[in-house]
């Protein structure tokens, strides 16, 4: 099913030679299926989102430089997840070049190589798995054909090796072959390599951006520089629901270094000659904010409650209601999760240079096309005349799926006719985030006389995740029914429960909530897997075996069983507390990737201490095991951070806190000293990696704490109280 | 107001007399003998002084657990910072990693010369006013300071007087100084010492 | 106002309108050394950590006036691909960075730690390395810090030839 969806219906390859100063430029047009069908397909439960490429204009995929380096213009951005490295491995494989010869850069929007979806949803490698390798293989074949022509080889077969083609006695590099070629023959795509013959795919190759990142290269949006650049700063609302209604800028105008104060219908900003001067002048502006109602945390808590808002049944099997209507026999439990901040280290910002008829915006974004279109609309320019130059992201985590910061920088630049760099302060980051919405969960179940679950219901009340996002148009809401982001991880993965259903309750909150790495997975798994633990205790069964007993025997079920068994065996799972340490177990399935985790926890000085995490995950084919491990390690600790420490709250209409520290996060001392990762490859294509391992950690910790203390922690962040 | 016991008073006066002789060479402002106007009910200088010394600007850096406190609520310093072996933080990440010799108007990080935690012997956190005063006057616990030296510390040391120019916090909001104005506090401290630094029982 | 300071061993003179300008902006915007990062501007995250006379300092909270005539070391001066600092070497061996934004600050903090404590214990690391990494690369960082200590020791134990 998944493979079929990605199948390419038609493709065309155009290559022009001699473009650009670097040497030879290969320009490919790769035609995909209807974008509308893909969009819907991408929104299904598997979140198996295909690459949504440009289908009209020629787009640049590869350059071959004169020194025979292959430059891949990636439509996916690198935000730490290691995608550039995985893509480079895929190209190396089919193009037959060593990794050292491959350079990966972000495709600028003007190159045409834009992904209409985004970089997100743990889809980058899986979406490009077929198209990118086909492109590389086709290009290799074109080079072979051209080599045969150039070397006049007749029937002698070319031998391809590390960026060179040898025919008989003669050998030419790709660069030499491509030199001067005006018209290329475009062959049929040759068969792709398979597992047994992989030389690069599946190997723990170091990240391609490793040295740049270790030696401090200027990679990020905030590091961008243009000649004559000025510095901008925009006043952003600190109060929920505040709308801009003018400002007193008289004091700011007199501040040193101020070049211009820019007052727009929806915001006011300042342009100055240095960063600090821009910041100082901004702080001297008094904005008239219009606020209708002052929101408090209690207001939000009252809104997020199962039973309020709009319900939508996202999963239904059997007749659940009848079985859980009897209060005597129904087990009921509630769970909660708080508002979460992205807190990525690089603030949102952009360096914009807007001229009369065109604009260049250098910035960190996960949605190149949306960013471009929004800026073009605001500047009243044709989208083709707005070039987005994506940079490495100083953290993404979903935060950069919303990019009004690009618009603001562009407006300021237009006002002064010079390049302007403008980014958020940290306080603005915390108060103007697109937060992970708070959730409330009500779970109900009935056990039969054998201690098996007869009926299981999960209700989740959540603020919006996908809805309201520029990525999901409003017209899609009625089609989708429920917010696929909010219920991610909210379905019941135990198919052997004869009667089960999941219901998503939509709540529109007064502040922006949206995509946060793994979306609803963290909170939904916390609720469901804590409840499963409760039920196993009630049934007097081992929690690991209890889960295995409720998993169906189809392919999905078998993969889930395997990760559960693998994690339990490797961790030497025990239900007994030993030397003050207890284990906790949880498992989740996210975007077809099952993941199981065993944690070892103790209470040290009244605090929950996680000593060890064993994580077994099956993301299908693994392109780079070292980077998949890195994603697991990071996701586990980030999930721990959210589960144990993080919480935004509302006070007198303001989201608080506004700084690291008060927004408590996991630090070095909190990270487990042992993380044991087991990777299973239960499919021959790559699946989701970056988000699935965030799922189980919160529940696993809470379940371990229950074994230590007898107390069931039902609210994140988990506190012993 | 509690009763005042003359024998203790006399004893104190006697003790102070000795100190004064010793200290006269150092300072001319310190008058050792008890103020003639002192009455048993005149605790105003003490009250004023203690209003300041029990304020979070002071107590936050006189913790009882080696961990500096922050803010009006006296929460533990974020990021697990502690006084460490020399009261200046850990080996490589220490007070001076973030705190300089003056307040930073942009970051909101407070600063003053010798920014550090009070030594473990000078724990005030959780103590009553009289316990703080007793601790403060005890050479075993106050770093071997004579009363005169203590008075100078309390009225002249830049780190102490920082309390009245505590700068802004991370959000740019001014930190709250002690409610007693600085000059009034200095006068009160001097008066208390001049009057024999008598610690009322509570 | 003109201020002279030594940056990565080279004497630099900068002209700043305000002597309280954070050293971070001087390094980044006037000296064009972008390895030192802005994360919060409040000395809370440690992304801006560099060395002033060998001590770790959070440069967003360090007025440039205090840097006058001092030795400033940034990530660009810590080591080079040809001659990496033990911390950088260890970071490469353990493949620590993910997004990479906070990593220079962590490496500078670690380099300062190894100067004070050549073989830090886990507790030393927990106490001294309190920067923030949102990708949460802490697990590999701890391994890399111990590895850096080994590399540093190996390099000092090498006989001089």
Residues A595-650 pLDDT 10s? 999 999 999 999 999 999 999 999 999 999 999 999 999 999 999 999 999 999 99
Residue whose tokens read 């633990």: A533
Q: Tell me whether residues A630 and C140 touch, CB distance under 8 A.
A: yes
Burial A505-541 (b: 16+ CB within 10 A, else e): bbbebbbbbbbbbbbbbbbbbbbbbbbbbbbbbebeb
Q: Which residues on adjacent β-strands are paired with residue C3?
A: C14
What is the set of domains in chain C, with CATH numbers? 2-78 (3.10.20.30), 86-157 (1.10.150.120)
Average pLDDT over every residue of A327-332: 94
User: Both A382 and A450 in a single domain?
Assistant: no
Least Cα distance to A249 among A269, A275, A279 occurs for A269
A3 has pLDDT over 80: no
Q: Are strands A386-390 and A499-507 parallel, antiparallel or unpaired?
A: unpaired
pTM of the full predicted structure? 0.92
| SS3 assignment, position A170 | strand
Q: How far is CA A571 from CA A565, A575, A674, in A?
A: 10, 12, 11
Task: Quick: pLDDT tens for A191-239.
Answer: 999 988 999 999 999 999 999 999 999 999 999 999 999 999 999 999 9
HSE toward the beta carbon, residue A432, CA cutoff 13 A: 22
List the single residue in A with minimal CA-CA distance to C137. Answer: A634
Average pLDDT, rounded, for chain A: 90
Set of chain A residues whose Cβ sits within 8 Å of the Cβ of B106: 276, 279
The answer to whether residue A714 sits within a structural domain is no
User: Both A580 and A703 in a single domain?
Assistant: yes
Q: Tell me whether residues A212 and C100 touch, CB distance under 8 A.
A: yes
Compute φ and ψ for A253, nearest 5 degrees.
-60, -30
User: Both A114 and A201 in a single domain?
Assistant: yes
Which residue, A214, A237, A271, sits at the end of a domain? Answer: A214
The answer to whether residue A715 sits within a structural domain is no
Q: What's the rounded Cα separation, in Å, for the pair B108 and B104?
A: 5
Q: Tell me whether residues B91 and C66 touch, CB distance under 8 A.
A: no
User: Both A331 and A229 in a single domain?
Assistant: no
* The dihedral formed by the CA atoms of A561, A567, A569 and A570, expressed in degrees to the nearest 10: 150
Neighbours of chain C (3+ CB pairs under 8 A): A, B
A548 has pLDDT over 90: yes
Task: Quote the pLDDT of residue B3.
Answer: 39
Enumerate chain B positions whose Cβ falls within 8 A of a Cβ in C.
78-82, 84, 90-93, 96-98, 100-101, 104-109, 170
**Residue C132 contacts residue A660 (beta carbons within 8 Å):** yes
Share of chain A above pLDDT 90, in %: 79
Residue whose tokens read 């929950």: A608
Q: What's the rounded Cα separation, in Å, for the pair A687 and A618?
A: 8
Least confident of A170-174, A671-675, A677-681, C7-11: A170-174
Q: Tell me whether residues B79 and C60 touch, CB distance under 8 A.
A: no
Q: What's the rounded Cα separation, in Å, for the pair B109 and A45?
A: 48
Average pLDDT over every residue of B37-66: 86
What string of DSSP letters covers C90-138? HHHHTT--SS-SSHHHHHHHHHHHHHH-SS--HHHHHHH-----TT-TH
Task: Quote the pLDDT of residue A618.
Answer: 98
The answer to whether residue A705 sits within a structural domain is yes
Task: Quote the pLDDT of residue A299.
Answer: 95
Task: Quote the pLDDT of residue A195.
Answer: 86
Q: Which helix (H) or strand (E) holds C5?
A: strand C2-7
Task: Quick: pLDDT tens for B110-139.
Answer: 999 999 999 989 999 999 999 999 999 999
Task: Quote the pLDDT of residue C159.
Answer: 63
- Say yes or no: C86 contacts chain A, CB-CB below 8 A: no
Helix axes C138-157, A625-644, angle to 10 degrees: 120
User: Both A567 and A644 in a single domain?
Assistant: yes
Q: Give residue A530's Cα distance to chain centre.
A: 25
Least confident of A60-74, A655-669, C104-118: A60-74
User: Both A571 and A444 in a single domain?
Assistant: yes
Q: What's the rounded Cα separation, in Å, for the pair A164 and B103?
A: 62
Task: Quick: pLDDT tens for A347-393.
Answer: 999 999 999 999 999 999 999 999 999 999 999 999 999 999 999 99
CA triple C5-C9-C12, angle to 5 deg = 35
Q: Tell me whether residues B78 and A661 touch, CB distance under 8 A.
A: yes
Distance from CA of A566 to the nearest CA of B (A): 36
Q: What's the rounded Cα separation, in Å, for the pair C67 and C23?
A: 8
The answer to whether residue B75 sits within a structural domain is yes
Which residue would you say has higher pLDDT here, A398 or B24?
A398
Share of chain A above pLDDT 70, in %: 92
**ipTM exceeding the 0.90 mark:** yes
Q: Tell me whether residues A214 and C92 touch, CB distance under 8 A.
A: yes
The answer to whether residue B47 sits within a structural domain is yes
Q: What's the rounded Cα separation, in Å, for the pair A483 and A519?
A: 11
User: Both A692 and A560 in a single domain?
Assistant: yes
Range of the domain at A200: 8-214
**Out of A216, A276, A395, closest to residue C99 by CB:** A395
Task: Quick: pLDDT tens for A506-516.
Answer: 999 999 999 99
CATH number at residue A528: 3.30.365.10
Which residue would you say has higher pLDDT here, B160 or A5?
B160
- In the structure, what pLDDT confidence band is assigned to residue A152 with cuts at 50, 70 and 90? confident
The answer to whether residue A2 sits within a structural domain is no
Q: How far is CA A214 from CA C73, C93, C94, C97, C128, in A?
A: 15, 11, 11, 7, 20
User: Both A548 and A409 in a single domain?
Assistant: no
Average pLDDT over every residue of C15-30: 96
Q: Tell me whether residues A395 and C101 touch, CB distance under 8 A.
A: yes
**Out of A207, A276, A673, closest to residue C95 by CB:** A207
The answer to whether residue A720 sits within a structural domain is no
Q: Are strands A593-604 and A607-617 parallel, antiparallel or unpaired?
A: antiparallel
Which residues 413-432 of A have a C-beta within 8 angstroms of B? Answer: 427
- In the structure, what pLDDT confidence band is assigned to residue A24 with cuts at 50, 70 and 90? very low
The answer to whether residue B34 sits within a structural domain is no
Share of chain C above pLDDT 90, in %: 95
Q: Are strands A499-507 and A310-317 parallel, antiparallel or unpaired?
A: antiparallel
User: Both A326 and A240 in a single domain?
Assistant: no
* The dihedral formed by the CA atoms of B85, B91, B97 and B102, expressed in degrees to the nearest 10: 30
A188 has pLDDT over 90: no
* The dihedral formed by the CA atoms of A86, A87, A91 and A97, expressed in degrees to the nearest 10: -50
Q: Give residue A33's Cα distance to chain centre.
A: 24
Residue whose tokens read 């409330």: A440
Task: Quick: pLDDT tens for B170-197.
Answer: 989 999 999 999 999 999 999 999 999 9
Distance from CA of C161 to the nearest CA of B (A): 32
Average pLDDT over every residue of A524-547: 98
A309 has pLDDT over 90: no
The answer to whether residue A717 sits within a structural domain is no
Task: Quote the pLDDT of residue A41.
Answer: 33
Least confident of A424-428, A623-627, B36-40: B36-40
Task: Quote the pLDDT of residue A57.
Answer: 55
Residues 6+ apart with CB under 8 A from B111: B99, B100, B101, B102, B103, B104, B167
Which residue, A423, A450, A465, sits at the end of a domain? Answer: A423
- Say yes or no: C66 contacts chain A, CB-CB below 8 A: no
Q: Tell me whether residues B105 and C130 touch, CB distance under 8 A.
A: no
Range of the domain at B60: 39-194
Least confident of A61-70, A205-214, A494-503: A61-70
Q: Where are the beta strands (DSSP E) in A21-95?
A: 23-28, 59-65, 70-74
Residues 6+ apart with CB under 8 A from A272: A230, A231, A232, A233, A255, A257, A258, A259, A278, A280, A281
The answer to whether residue A588 sits within a structural domain is yes
- In the structure, what pLDDT confidence band is assigned to residue A63 with cuts at 50, 70 and 90? confident
**Residue A119 contacts residue C99 (beta carbons within 8 Å):** no
Q: Tell me whether residues B80 and A279 touch, CB distance under 8 A.
A: no
Q: Tell me whether residues B171 and A661 touch, CB distance under 8 A.
A: no
Distance from CA of B132 to the nearest CA of A (A): 28
Task: Quote the pLDDT of residue C20.
Answer: 96
**Residue A591 contacts residue A519 (beta carbons within 8 Å):** no
Distance from CA of A223 to the nearest CA of C (A): 6
The answer to whether residue B202 sits within a structural domain is no
Distance from CA of A580 to the nearest CA of B (A): 24
Q: Give residue A147's Cα distance to chain centre.
A: 41
Task: Quick: pLDDT tens for C45-65.
Answer: 999 999 999 999 999 999 999
The answer to whether residue A429 sits within a structural domain is no
User: Both A469 and A615 in a single domain?
Assistant: yes
**Out of A257, A342, A635, closest to residue C17 by CB:** A257
- Say yes or no: C22 contacts chain A, CB-CB below 8 A: yes
Average pLDDT over every residue of A652-676: 97
Which residues 77-96 of C have a C-beta within 8 angstroms of B? Answer: none
Average pLDDT over every residue of A126-141: 89
Number of folded domains in chain A?
3
User: Both A245 and A112 in a single domain?
Assistant: no
Which residues 4-63 of B have a C-beta within 8 angstroms of A? Answer: none
Q: What is the 3-state secondary structure of A516-546?
A: CCCCCHHHHHHHHHHHHHHHHHHCCCCHHHH
User: Which tokens hold the place of A118?
Assistant: 């985004």
Task: Quick: pLDDT tens for A161-187.
Answer: 999 999 988 999 998 998 877 777 778
- In the structure, what pLDDT confidence band is assigned to residue B41 with cuts at 50, 70 and 90? low
Q: Give residue A507's Cα distance to chain centre.
A: 23
Q: Tell me whether residues A666 and C122 touch, CB distance under 8 A.
A: no
Query: Is the alpha carbon torsion for A265, A267, A271, A277 positive or negative?
Result: positive
The answer to whether residue B6 sits within a structural domain is no
Number of folded domains in chain B?
1
**Residue C45 contacts residue C65 (beta carbons within 8 Å):** no
- In the structure, what pLDDT confidence band is assigned to residue A19 with cuts at 50, 70 and 90? very low
Specify burial of residue A73 (Cβ count, 10 A radius: 0-12, 13-18, 19+).
Answer: buried
The residue among A100, A209, A216, A279 with the most chain C CBs within 10 A of its CB, best to mutate, is A216
User: Both A263 and A195 in a single domain?
Assistant: no
């Amino acid at each position: 099913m998944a493979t079929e969806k990605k199948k390419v219906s038609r493709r065309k390859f155009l290559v022009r030679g001699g473009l650009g100063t670097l040497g030879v430029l290969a320009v490919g047009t790769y035609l995909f299926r209807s974008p509308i069908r893909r969009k819907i397909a991408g929104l299904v439960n598997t979140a198996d989102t295909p690459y949504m490429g440009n289908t009209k204009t020629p787009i640049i995929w590869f350059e071959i430089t004169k020194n025979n380096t292959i430059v891949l213009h990636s439509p996916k951005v690198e935000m730490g997840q290691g995608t550039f490295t995985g893509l480079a491995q895929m190209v190396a494989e089919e193009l037959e070049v060593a990794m050292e010869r491959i350079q990966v850069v972000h495709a600028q929007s003007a190159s045409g190589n834009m992904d209409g979806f985004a970089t997100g949803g743990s889809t980058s490698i899986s979406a490009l798995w077929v198209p990118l390798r086909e492109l590389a293989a086709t290009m290799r074949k074109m080079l072979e054909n051209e080599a045969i022509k150039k070397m006049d080889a007749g029937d002698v077969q070319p031998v391809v090796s590390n960026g060179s083609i040898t025919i008989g006695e003669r050998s030419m590099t790709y660069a030499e072959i491509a030199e001067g070629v005006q018209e290329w023959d475009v062959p049929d795509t040759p068969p792709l390599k398979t597992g047994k013959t992989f030389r690069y795919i599946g190997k723990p190759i170091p990240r391609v951006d490793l040295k740049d990142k270790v030696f401090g290269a200027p990679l990020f949006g905030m590091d961008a520089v243009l000649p004559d650049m000025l510095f901008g700063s925009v006043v952003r609302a600190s109060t929920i629901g505040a709308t801009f209604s003018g400002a007193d800028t008289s004091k700011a105008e007199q501040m040193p270094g101020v070049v211009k104060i820019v007052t727009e219908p929806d915001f006011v900003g300042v342009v100055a000659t240095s960063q600090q001067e821009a910041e100082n002048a901004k702080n001297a502006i008094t904005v008239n904010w219009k606020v209708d109602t002052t929101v408090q945390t209690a207001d939000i808590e009252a809104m997020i409650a199962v039973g309020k808002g709009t319900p939508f049944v996202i999963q239904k099997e059997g007749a659940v209601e009848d079985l859980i209507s009897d209060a005597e026999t129904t087990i009921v439990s509630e769970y909660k999760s708080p508002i979460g901040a992205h807190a990525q280290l690089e603030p949102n910002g952009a360096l914009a240079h807007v001229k009369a008829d065109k604009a260049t915006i250098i910035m960190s974004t996960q949605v190149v096309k949306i960013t471009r279109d929004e800026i073009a609309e605001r500047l009243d320019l044709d989208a083709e005349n707005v070039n987005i130059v994506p940079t490495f992201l100083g953290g993404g985590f979903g935060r950069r799926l919303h990019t009004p910061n690009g618009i603001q920088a562009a407006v300021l630049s237009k006002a002064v006719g010079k390049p302007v760099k403008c980014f958020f302060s940290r306080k603005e980051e915390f108060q103007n985030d697109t937060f992970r919405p708070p959730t409330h969960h009500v779970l109900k179940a009935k056990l039969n006389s054998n201690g098996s679950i007869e009926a299981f219901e999960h209700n989740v009340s959540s603020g919006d995740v996908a809805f309201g996002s520029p990525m999901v148009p409003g017209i899609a809401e009625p089609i989708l029914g429920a917010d696929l982001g909010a219920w991610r991880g909210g379905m019941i993965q135990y198919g052997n429960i004869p009667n089960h259903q999941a219901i998503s309750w939509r709540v529109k909150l007064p502040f922006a909530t949206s995509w946060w790495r793994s979306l609803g997975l963290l909170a939904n798994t916390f609720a469901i897997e804590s409840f499963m633990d409760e039920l196993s205790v009630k049934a007097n069964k081992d929690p690991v075996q209890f889960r295995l007993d409720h998993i169906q025997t189809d392919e999905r079920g078998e993969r889930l069983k395997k990760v559960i068994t693998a994690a339990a065996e490797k961790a030497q799972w025990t239900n007994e507390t030993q030397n003050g340490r207890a284990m906790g177990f949880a498992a989740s399935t996210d975007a077809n990737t099952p993941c199981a985790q065993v944690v070892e926890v103790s209470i040290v000085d009244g605090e929950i201490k996680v000593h060890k995490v064993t994580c077994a995950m099956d993301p299908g084919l693994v392109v780079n095991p070292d980077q998949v491990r890195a994603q697991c390690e990071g996701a586990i600790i980030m999930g721990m951070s959210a589960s144990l420490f993080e919480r935004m709250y509302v006070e007198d209409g303001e989201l608080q806190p506004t700084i690291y520290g008060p927004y408590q996060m996991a630090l070095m001392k909190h990270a487990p000293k042992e993380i044991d990762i087991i990777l299973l490859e239960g499919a021959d294509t790559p699946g989701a990696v970056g988000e699935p391992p965030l799922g189980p950690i919160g529940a696993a910790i809470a379940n371990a704490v229950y074994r230590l203390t007898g107390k069931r922690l039902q609210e994140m962040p988990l506190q012993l109280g | 107001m509690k009763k005042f016991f003359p024998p203790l008073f006399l004893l104190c006066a006697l003790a102070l007399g000795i100190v004064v002789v010793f200290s006269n060479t150092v300072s001319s402002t310190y008058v050792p003998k008890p103020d003639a106007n002192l009455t048993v009910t005149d605790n105003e200088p003490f009250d004023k002084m203690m209003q300041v010394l029990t304020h979070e600007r002071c107590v936050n850096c006189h913790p009882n657990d080696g961990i500096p406190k922050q803010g009006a609520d006296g929460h533990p310093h974020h990021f697990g910072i502690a006084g460490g072996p020399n009261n200046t933080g850990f080996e490589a990440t220490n007070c001076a990693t973030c705190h300089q010799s003056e307040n930073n108007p942009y970051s909101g990080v407070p600063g003053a010369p010798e920014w550090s935690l009070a030594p473990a012997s000078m724990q005030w956190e959780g103590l009553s006013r009289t316990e703080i005063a007793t601790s403060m006057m005890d050479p075993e616990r106050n770093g071997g300071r004579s009363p005169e030296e203590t008075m100078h510390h309390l009225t002249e040391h830049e780190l102490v007087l920082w309390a009245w120019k505590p700068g802004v916090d991370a959000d740019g909001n001014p930190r709250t100084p002690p409610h007693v104005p600085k000059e009034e506090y200095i006068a009160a401290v001097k008066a208390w010492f001049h009057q024999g630094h008598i610690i009322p029982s509570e | 106002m003109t201020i002279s300071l030594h940056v990565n061993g080279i004497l630099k003179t900068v002209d700043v309108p305000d002597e309280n300008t954070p050293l971070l902006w001087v390094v980044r915007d006037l000296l064009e050394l972008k390895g030192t990062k802005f994360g919060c501007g409040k000395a809370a995250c440690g992304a801006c950590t560099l060395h002033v006379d060998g001590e770790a300092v959070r440069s967003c909270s360090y007025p440039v006036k205090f840097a006058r005539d001092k030795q400033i070391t940034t990530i660009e001066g810590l080591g080079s691909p040809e001659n990496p600092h033990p911390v950088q070497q260890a970071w490469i061996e353990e493949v620590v960075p993910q997004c990479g934004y906070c990593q220079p600050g962590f490496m500078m903090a670690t380099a300062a730690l190894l100067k004070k404590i050549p073989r830090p214990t886990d507790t030393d690391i927990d106490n001294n390395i309190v920067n923030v990494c949102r990708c949460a690369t802490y697990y590999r960082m701890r391994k890399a810090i111990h590895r850096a200590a080994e590399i540093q020791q190996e390099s000092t134990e090498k006989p001089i030839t």
